[in-house]
Structure formats: C-alpha cells, structure tokens
C-alpha cells in the first residue's frame, strides 16, 4: 500500500510540474494581456485539470493576446494616436477590430462610446464590422449586435460603436466618444474636415485615444499626423503576415511589384513621395527602366568613398556603361554599408571584375591618396582615374539630371536606395542632411561616360 501511495504521489508531482511548465509562457505574457483575455485564460485554467490540458489547448490558441503579433498590439506609454501604416493583407484591420472589441468588452457594464470612421459607410460595414477581420467576425465572446438602421454596434454590456463616413464630415458634429478607430485615412474623401470633426468629439473619459489604420499615401493629413508628438507610429508589411495569407498571393505580388514604388507602398507600408524641388521624379525613372541584354562600348565603376567609418557609413559604388547608340545604362548599385576602407575597396574591385569594366573612377576629396592606395592594395593593376570635386553637389548633378530628361540614360533594373536619394535631392541636398553617397557615385559614373568625351576601347556583351 505504501508503494502505491508513493507512486501516486510521484505521479501527481509530475502532473503539477507539467502543468506549471505549460502555463509558464502564459504567465509571462499575461502581464500585457487585455482584461477580457486575462479572464478567459483564468476560465480555461479552472476548467482544465492538469491531465486534460491537451483537450483545452485549442482555446488558448484562439486568444488574440497570444496569437497577435507585437506590432498589432497597442503601444505602451502615453499617446493620443496609434498610427498603423501597413501593406495589403498585413493585419492592420485585425489590429483595429481586436483593439475596439477589447475596449468594448473590458467591463460587465459599460457606457463606452466609440467612433468607427471609414471612407464610406459601405466600407465601415464591409471591412470594419462584417469583413474577414472585422469586429463581428473576430468576436469570440461578448459578440456585439449590429443595428444597420441606427448605424451602430451594441455590446451585451452596453458599450456602443457608431459608424461614420468621410463623405459626410458633418455627421460627426454633436456625438462624443471615448475612443475612435479610423480606417484607410489616406483615402478619405474629405479627410481634413472629417478628421477635425472627430477630434472635437473625442473628449470623453480621462484618456481619449484613437487608432488610425491605413495604407500610406503622401497626403497632407497623414504626413502631419506622422510628425505629431502625440502619435505612436507602427509600420507593418504584407510579408509580416505571410503565415495567414496564401503563399501564391505573397509570391505573386513580390515578383510583380517587389521594390517598385507601388509595391513599397501597398506591400511594405512605406510612405513614398517626391520632393517638389528634387532633380528627379519617380515616374520619370520608371519610364526609363529597361531589361538590358545588349552590348556596351564602355563600362566604368564610380566610387564615392565615405568620409568616415562606422555602422552608418556608406561607400557609394555605381556601375554604368554606354550602348553603341550612345545611351548610358546604369547597371548596378553596389554601394557598401558599414565597411572598413579595406572592405569597401574589395567591393569596388569585385564590381570592376564582375562587369569587366574599363576603369574605376574614384573621388579623392575625402581620402586623397589613401583612396588610391586602398584600391591598389587589392589590385595593383587596377585602371584608376582620380577625380576631385570643385563645384557643389547640386551643380555637378544638374547636367546629369538633364541627360535623364533627354532620355539619354536608362536603368537596367530597380535600384531602390539609389533612386530614393535621386528623388530626395534638391538644392540643399538630401532631407535631414544625409550624405548622397550613392547619388554622388552615379554622377561621377555618368559624367565620365557622357560628359567628358572619353575614348571607347571595345564592344562587349553582358
């Protein structure tokens, strides 16, 4: 009998240890869970004896607090606006629906009032409420009732959410709210007026807040909101949510739009815009993009060495050539980030050999003879031309920009980082005082090929 009791006691201790290990992750995560999810975890704990854990584990997996990504959860700290800029299918609607439902379900009795604002009333219903990731679809408990005639959702505890359209800003005049969810702000018809009316009504409670979920577009209201000190900006991409999307959908869009302006906006959630005073425009560069398979008369590798070293230093390395017709083709942006002088010198020589270039053109304003010494330490036979800038960057870039306007330069691919600098380069340089390292290398390459009348050694195919 004593042996049987001892074995039973041993088995019970094993069960308790197994249970404690299983619940360890939930204990660590529970600190940040929404109130209703905490209650659900407690309910599951009470309903599931240790030996019955597997039978109840599916209920835990349904909890948003455990399955949602960190960037889909409200940010910590003091904020007025939580701005989620995301690509198509990135999970931004799910984040909004879960946030609203968690707020509305947070107490047994509630007089909470929430505004749901979309581009149109149809969008509010089809996306925010009844959509695949809408409030009524994700509500696991305390599901609200939708009253279409009154344009509102009502939860069992009395919490209420009213829907509004950007087509009718005046409908927001009068109602008042504790919280608001604004969907696709960048597409709103009367964005400024609608958003202003909402701010006047967002005045209930001690800490009224709003969530904005949108695919980015360079519209004034969104750019202003991004720089507001009360905004917490979160960016999410379609790729972040790939586990919940069709693999063929993600693969197809990446293949067709990856790296393009449309893809960066609609898939990566980036805000892409041109400077009004920039020397280049993205639409113009897109029109000059080709799939190059021909021959070239000359090829050069241009180098703009960094002024220092470190993680943020970048050595601009651009490869370009000239077709027999006289048109220049930008072949590659091989710029190297965060490398030592020996490291970026190796990258230059690698590009020279890869493209069978005729020569290397290197600016020596920053490094002087050190630049030539570093390159020749890698390949002492390297044909090298040293150039020194005597005019400002903008003045040197203007003749090259004119070549683009004349259709005399093409890009044999999409060079995202380089083209970002080109479309952000104005009379005062790049915004934020950044160094136009890639652009400088491009200017040196095209100047050597098109503006200096150099000889043309041979014809080669790539």
| Domain assignments of the chain as residue spans, ordered by start | 70-257, 282-461
Centroid of chain to Cα 339: 25
Q: How far apart are CA 344 and CA 375, in angstroms?
A: 9
The DSSP-derived string for 388-413 is ---S-HHHHHHHHHHHHHTT-EEESS
Residues 6+ apart with CB under 8 A from 318: 301, 302, 330, 332, 333, 334, 335, 418, 438, 441, 442, 444, 445
Residue 54, judged by CB atoms within 10 A of its CB (0-12, 13-18, 19+), counts as: exposed
* Average pLDDT score over residue span 152-160: 94
Backbone angles phi, psi at 295, to 5 degrees: -115, 160
What pLDDT, on the 0 to 100 scale, is given for residue 114?
A: 97
Planar angle of CA 376, 382, 387, nearest 5 degrees: 85
Residue with structure tokens 């004034």? 220
What pLDDT, on the 0 to 100 scale, is given for residue 130?
A: 93
How many other CB atoms are there within 10 angstroms of residue 428's CB atom? 10
Q: Could you tell me if residue 21 is left (phi over 0), alpha (psi between -120 and 50 degrees) or otherwise beta?
A: alpha
Decide if 70-257 and 282-461 have a common fold. no
Note whether 117 and 194 are within 8 A (CB): yes
What pLDDT, on the 0 to 100 scale, is given for residue 267?
A: 65
Q: Rg for the chain (alpha carbons), in Å?
A: 30
Backbone angles phi, psi at 310, to 5 degrees: 130, 175
DSSP state of 31: G
Least confident of 15-29, 148-162, 287-301: 15-29
Q: What is the mean pLDDT of the chain?
A: 82
What pLDDT, on the 0 to 100 scale, is given for residue 32?
A: 40
What pLDDT, on the 0 to 100 scale, is given for residue 87?
A: 78
pLDDT tens digits for range 392-451? 899 999 999 999 999 999 999 889 889 988 988 888 888 777 889 999 999 999 999 998
- CATH class (in words) of the domain with range 282-461: alpha beta
pLDDT band at 39 (very low <50, low <70, confident <90, very high): low
What pTM, to 2 d.p., does this model score? 0.55
* Average pLDDT score over residue span 30-34: 42
β partners of residue 316? 304
CATH number of 70-257: 3.40.50.300
- Among 300, 299, 287, 226, smallest CA distance to 260 is for 287
Note whether 284 and 263 are within 8 A (CB): no
Q: How far apart are CA 387 and CA 301, in angstroms?
A: 13
């Amino acid at each position: 009998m004593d042996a049987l009791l001892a074995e039973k006691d041993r088995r019970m201790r094993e069960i308790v240890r197994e249970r404690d290990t299983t619940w360890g992750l939930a204990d660590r995560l529970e600190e940040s869970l929404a109130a209703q999810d905490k209650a659900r975890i407690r309910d599951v704990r009470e309903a599931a004896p240790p030996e019955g854990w597997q039978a109840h584990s599916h209920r835990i997996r349904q909890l948003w607090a455990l399955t949602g990504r960190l960037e889909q959860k409200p940010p910590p700290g003091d904020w007025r606006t939580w701005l989620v800029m995301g690509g198509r299918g990135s999970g931004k609607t799910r984040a909004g629906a879960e946030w609203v439902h968690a707020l509305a379900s947070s107490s047994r009795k509630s007089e909470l009032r929430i505004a749901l604002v979309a581009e149109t009333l149809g969008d509010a219903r089809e996306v925010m409420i009844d959509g695949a990731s809408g409030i009524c679809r994700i509500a696991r408990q305390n599901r609200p009732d939708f009253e279409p005639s009154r344009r509102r959702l009502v939860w069992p505890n009395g919490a209420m959410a009213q829907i509004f359209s950007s087509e009718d800003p005046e409908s927001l005049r009068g109602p008042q709210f504790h919280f608001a969810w604004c969907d696709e702000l960048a597409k709103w018809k009367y964005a400024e007026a609608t958003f202003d009316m909402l701010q006047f009504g967002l005045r209930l409670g001690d800490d009224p807040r709003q969530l904005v979920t949108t695919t980015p577009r360079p519209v004034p209201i969104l750019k202003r909101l991004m720089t507001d000190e009360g905004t917490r900006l979160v960016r999410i991409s379609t790729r972040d949510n790939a586990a919940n999307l069709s693999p063929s959908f993600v693969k197809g869009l990446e293949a067709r739009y990856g790296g393009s302006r449309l893809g960066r906006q609609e898939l990566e959630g980036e805000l892409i815009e041109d400077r009004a005073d920039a020397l280049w425009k993205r639409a113009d560069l897109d029109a000059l993009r080709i799939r190059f398979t021909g021959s070239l008369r000359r090829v050069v590798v241009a180098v703009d060495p960094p002024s220092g070293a470190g993680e943020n230093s970048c050595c601009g390395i651009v490869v370009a050539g000239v077709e027999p017709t006289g048109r220049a083709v930008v072949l590659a942006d091989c710029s190297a980030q965060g490398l030592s002088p020996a490291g970026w010198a190796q990258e230059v020589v690698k590009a020279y050999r890869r493209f069978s270039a005729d020569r290397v053109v290197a600016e020596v304003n920053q490094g002087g003879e050190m630049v030539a010494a570093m390159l020749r330490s890698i390949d002492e036979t390297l044909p090298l031309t040293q150039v020194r800038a005597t005019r400002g960057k903008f003045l040197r870039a203007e003749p090259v920009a004119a070549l683009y306007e004349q259709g005399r330069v093409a890009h044999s691919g999409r060079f995202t980082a380089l083209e970002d600098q080109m479309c952000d380069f104005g009379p005062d340089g790049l915004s934020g005082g950044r160094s136009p390292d890639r652009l400088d290398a491009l200017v040196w390459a095209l100047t050597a090929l098109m503006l200096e009348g150099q000889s043309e050694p041979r014809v080669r195919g790539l």
